[in-house]
Structure formats: C-alpha cells, structure tokens
Amino acid sequence: GHFDLIMWVHVSQKFSVNAIFTEMLDAATERGGHQFSNLDTLQQKLEEELNGKKILLVLDDVWYHDSVSQLQLEKIVSPLNVGSAGSKILVTSRSKDALVALGAVRRIPISELNDSVFLELFMHSALSGANIDERDRNVFAEIGRGIANKLRKSPLAAKLVGGQLRMRPDVDFWRDAGNRDLLKDTRGALWWSYQHLDEQVRRCFAYCSIFPRRHRLKREELIKLWVAEGFIETTGEGGEEEALAGKYFEQLVS
C-alpha cells in the first residue's frame, strides 16, 4: 500500500497520553498487552517501531477544552517525527480549536446529511431484511418518515433506532416509537434502543462496563465470560449457550 503502517486511534474528550501511545504501539506491532509504567520508556519503544516508516495516523474524535492542553495534543503526535517523508496525520474533531492546536494545514468541513439521504439511511436500517409483507411496507415507510424526522439527522441514532424497529415489524410498536419525544436527542435515542434490547442482551452489554476504558477483549473471551456469569439462559446443552452468546455479541456490534 501507500503507507507502511496505518494506525487508527479514538481519542475522545478524556484521554491519557500513555493510553494513546499504548494503542499506537499495539497497532504498530499488531499485538496487544503492552504495559509501561514510564511514559518516556513507552515513547522510546513506540519510536523504535515507527522509525523510518511511512505512516498514516488517524486521530478520531479529538477534543480541545480546559482539561486538554495544547502540549498534550502535540505530545500524542510527537512520535511520528521519526517517520519517513510522506507520513500523514488525519484528525477528526468537532472543534476547530483542536485542529489549530495540532497545526492542521488543511481543514475539510463535513456538512450534515440532507433530508433524503438521511431518510434513505434510516429506512435501510429499519426495513432492509425486515420480515414485512410488501403490502404493509408502505405503511411502515410512512410511519418511518415521522420517526426519521425526530432523529435530527444523527446517523448513530438512525442505525440504532432503525435496528430495533427492524426486529419488531409491528405497526403499533412503530407508531409508539414515533410518539416518543425522547428520540429527538441522540442520547435519548440511545437509551430508547438500550431499553428495547432483550433482557439477556442488556445484561451482557451492561457487564462490559466493568472493564476499564480502552480495555480490549477478544470475542471468544467475552462470550465465555458471559456464559460463566450465568447471563445466557437456554434450555439446551452448554454449547448452545456459547452459540446464543455469539448471536448477542453480533447484535451488539452490528
């Protein structure tokens, strides 16, 4: 490819330079589990891995506010100084100040989705693959337009709310959703979607909150933990529990 190494790191509002460097090192070495108590040692190891390579670093969701200093932002990109010519940094942010602090040479504003594109996105999430008779599809489509208007062009809300509607092809359920002002706010839409997950799926999802931020677990590890905790109830053999847990996992990450 054009780059020797591509690293994608989600930064978010609250971050530590140590955690960002560790994530970069994991990406550079293609393995996790790195632990360094000393930031200088971690940076040295990271620079050894990056030295002389043509790198693309994507820093996703960078914020700049009172608790994040310009020095912190400059620090997280400093290891790329050892990269070869042609290395690039791509930053996504809701804040122009963050881009200025990082010395961005080019800014590409992203406009919100227009009404028709957002409606198409929502309808795809809500109706694609749904078990709905073609004669009833127009009824659901009409109700869906009203729901889409409430979501205020949030792609995340469209995907999550649409996913719940697709699993419940019931006119009354859709109409009830359309009457919920909670959906006008993205967080409200997230909460509504969570509340309509199956009880066992909610339990599995809530369990994930016990792990530290940025903690990584393999799919198989998490499934075995859910089963061991007794979150998966089936009437069959033990192997069926892991199969069902796997379906829950796919539902949560889809």
Q: Give whole-number Cα distances, 236 to 77, 135, 221, 244, in Å.
A: 52, 38, 21, 11
211 shares its domain with 242: yes
Give residue 152's Cα distance to chain centre.
19
pLDDT digits (tens, 9 = 90+) for 16-59: 888 899 889 988 888 777 778 789 999 999 999 999 999 999 99
144 shares its domain with 186: yes
Q: Which has more confidence, 199 or 133?
A: 199
Predicted model pTM: 0.72
Q: Judge whether 211 lies within some domain.
A: yes
Q: Are 155 and 113 in contact (CB under 8 A)?
A: yes
| Residue from 21, 26, 51 nearest 38 by CA | 21
The beta-strand segments (E) located in 115-169 are none
183 shares its domain with 224: no
Count of CA atoms in the C-beta half-sphere (13 A) of 243: 7
28 shares its domain with 62: yes
Q: How many domains does the chain have?
A: 3
Q: Tell me whether strands 55-62 and 5-12 are parallel, antiparallel or unpaired.
A: parallel
- Domain range spanning residue 217? 199-253
Question: Of 146, 165, 195, which residue is a domain's last?
Answer: 195
Token look-up 């970069």 returns 24
Q: Judge whether 108 lies within some domain.
A: no
187 shares its domain with 207: no
Q: Can you tell me the distance from the alpha carbon of 71 to that of 64, in angstroms, rounded to the nearest whole number? A: 11
pLDDT digits (tens, 9 = 90+) for 170-227: 999 999 999 999 999 999 999 999 999 999 999 999 999 999 877 778 899 999 999 9
pLDDT, position 129: 80
9 shares its domain with 60: yes
89 shares its domain with 16: yes
pLDDT, position 15: 82
72 shares its domain with 27: yes
